Amino acid sequence: MGQWIIAYTPLVDLFLLHLGFAYAQYIVLRAGVFSLATAGLAGIGAYTAGVLAVKLGAHPALGVAAATLAGSGAALVLSLPLARLRGVYQAIATVAFVQIVYSVNLWAEPVTGGAMGLNNIPRTAGTGVLAVAALGTLYLVWAMERTRLGRAFNAIRQDEAMAATLGVDIVRHQALAFALSGAIAGLFGALEAYHAYALDPGQFAFPFLIAILSYVILGGRNSVAGPLIGTAILIILPELARPLAENRMLIYGVMLILVINFLPRGIADSLILAWRARRLARPEPAAGEP
């Protein structure tokens, strides 16, 4: 038993961290913003915490708080221009944001360590801390879903014009979703920093973006269980067999194509819809009336 726990701790930690990033991505998609900025926001959080820890020797709690604030602040600022864009334009703008964060990170070597990254970050976030953060995030996302926010996000995502005529302030709601997404990404970025000893800028670039996006697409982007399922599958899968681990990017690529074409809602959402359809198909004949 003890052996087993030790052997699998790194995997559990990885899962918990990525679960947080997946929810950061999930929240914006759910509010109808086609943002791919999560990687950049996570990078901002991670480096805020890392720099505070290494250069200033700040207390980890301060680092986490600062990273969360930095993430949500950056997201809030980013949401202003994004509010004027839609669809592919938002996607392009947010990819540009990720690139800007990456380039500035490389350039600001005296502060961020440049291409070498940051080393010797005290390791303070263990499995327990990660679990608490992940559970907190899970509760927040779950709770929010059941209130006016979830209802408004739902309407915006499905039909913005309809939502607006029903009184939903799209800009405000999307800004809020963005700020939350940034806060969560920043928080988990900081945890990543305090968990991994070291940071390097390439960590939060395109491959990261793709991994996070894959969790949400595979699991489902409209229900809370989606990112959980997607992250679990994609984190555990490579552990099952060596060839799976060696071909990770290939698997992600094939998976993205197959899922978006044949299971476009992802696993969780499809299951929920199928279950609901079955429940309705059973009782009273009147229910069959179209």
Partner 1 sequence: MLRLRNVSRHIGGIRAVDDVSLDIPPGRITGLIGPNGAGKTTIVNLITGMMPLTAGSIHLGGTDITRAPAHRICRAGLARTFQNMRLMADETVIDNVMIGFHRHDRCALPAALLNLPSARRMTATLRRRAAAMIAEFGMERFAGFPAGGLSYGHQRRVEIMRALASDPAFLLLDEPIAGMNDVEADALAAIFRRLAAEGRGILLIEHDMRFVASLCDHVHVLDGGRLIAGGRPAEVLRDPAVIAAYLGG
Partner 2 sequence: MLAQQLLNGFVVGGVYALFALGFTLVFGIQRVLNLAHGAIFMSGAFIAYYTVAAGGPLWLGLALAVIGSGLISVLVEIVCFRRLRRSGDEEFGGIISSIGASLVIMTIAQRISDTQVLRFPFETFPVIIWRFWGLRVSALQLFMLALALALVVVLGWFIYRTAFGRQVRAVTQNERAAMLMGINPVRIHMQTFFLSGALAGAAGVLVGLAFSSIRYTMGEPFLMYGFVIIILGGLGSIPGALLASFLFGMGQTMLTAYMPSAISGLNEAFIFAALFLLLLFRPHGLMGREAAGALRGRR
Structure tokens at 248: 């990770």
Min CB(184)–partner 2 separation in Å: 21
Report CA Rg, the chain: 20
DSSP string, 198-227: -B-GGGGSHHHHHHHHHHHHHH-SSSTHHH
For residue 169, state whether it binds partner 2 (rule: CB under 8 A): no
Tokens 């959980």 found at: 228
**DSSP annotation string for 89-111:** HHHHHHHHHHHHHHHHHHH-HHH
Burial of 179 (0-12, 13-18, 19+ CB in 10 A): buried
Interaction partner, residue 147 (partner 1, partner 2, none; CB < 5-8 Å by kind): partner 1
Name which position in 13, 21, 32, 185 contacts partner 2 (CB under 8 A).
Answer: 32
Report, in Å, the least distance between residue 152 CB and partner 2.
15
Query: Judged by CB under 8 A, which of 3, 88, 128, 147 binds partner 1?
Result: 147
Residues 6+ apart with CB under 8 A from 60: 49, 53, 122, 124, 125, 194
State the Cα–Cα distance between residues 144 and 141, nearest whole angstrom: 5
User: Which partner from the list partner 2, partner 1, none does 168 bind, CB cut-off 5 to 8 Å by kind?
Assistant: partner 1
- How wide is the angle at C-alpha 220 spanned by C-alphas 219 and 222, nearest 5°? 150
Instruction: From 178, 183, 212, 245, select the one nearest 44 (Cα to Cα).
Output: 183
Phi, psi dihedrals of residue 118, rounded to the nearest 5°:
-105, 140
247 touching partner 2, by CB under 8 A: yes
Q: Which does 285 bind (CB under 5 to 8 A by kind): partner 1, partner 2, none?
A: none
Cβ atoms of 213 and 29 closer than 8 Å:
no
Both tokens of residue 281? 């198909």
- Contact between 245 and partner 2 (CB under 8 A)? no
Residue 206 touches which of partner 1, partner 2, none (CB < 5 to 8 A by kind)? partner 2
206 near partner 2 (CB under 8 A): yes
Q: Residue from 85, 198, 236, 237 that binds partner 2 (CB under 8 A)?
A: 85
Stretch that binds partner 2, among 61-69, 123-131, 223-231, 261-269 (CB under 8 A): 261-269
Residue 170 touching partner 2 (CB under 8 A): yes
Q: Quick one: which of 59, 84, 123, 151 contacts partner 1 (CB under 8 A)?
A: 151
Q: Which does 166 bind (CB under 5 to 8 A by kind): partner 1, partner 2, none?
A: partner 1
User: Which residues form the interface with partner 1 (CB under 8 A)?
Assistant: 139-140, 142-144, 146-149, 151-152, 154-155, 158-159, 161-170, 180, 273, 276-277, 280, 286-287, 289-290
User: Which residues form the interface with partner 2 (CB under 8 A)?
Assistant: 32, 34, 81, 84-89, 91-93, 95-97, 99-100, 103-104, 106-107, 157-162, 164, 170, 206, 210, 213, 217, 247, 249-250, 252-257, 260-262, 264
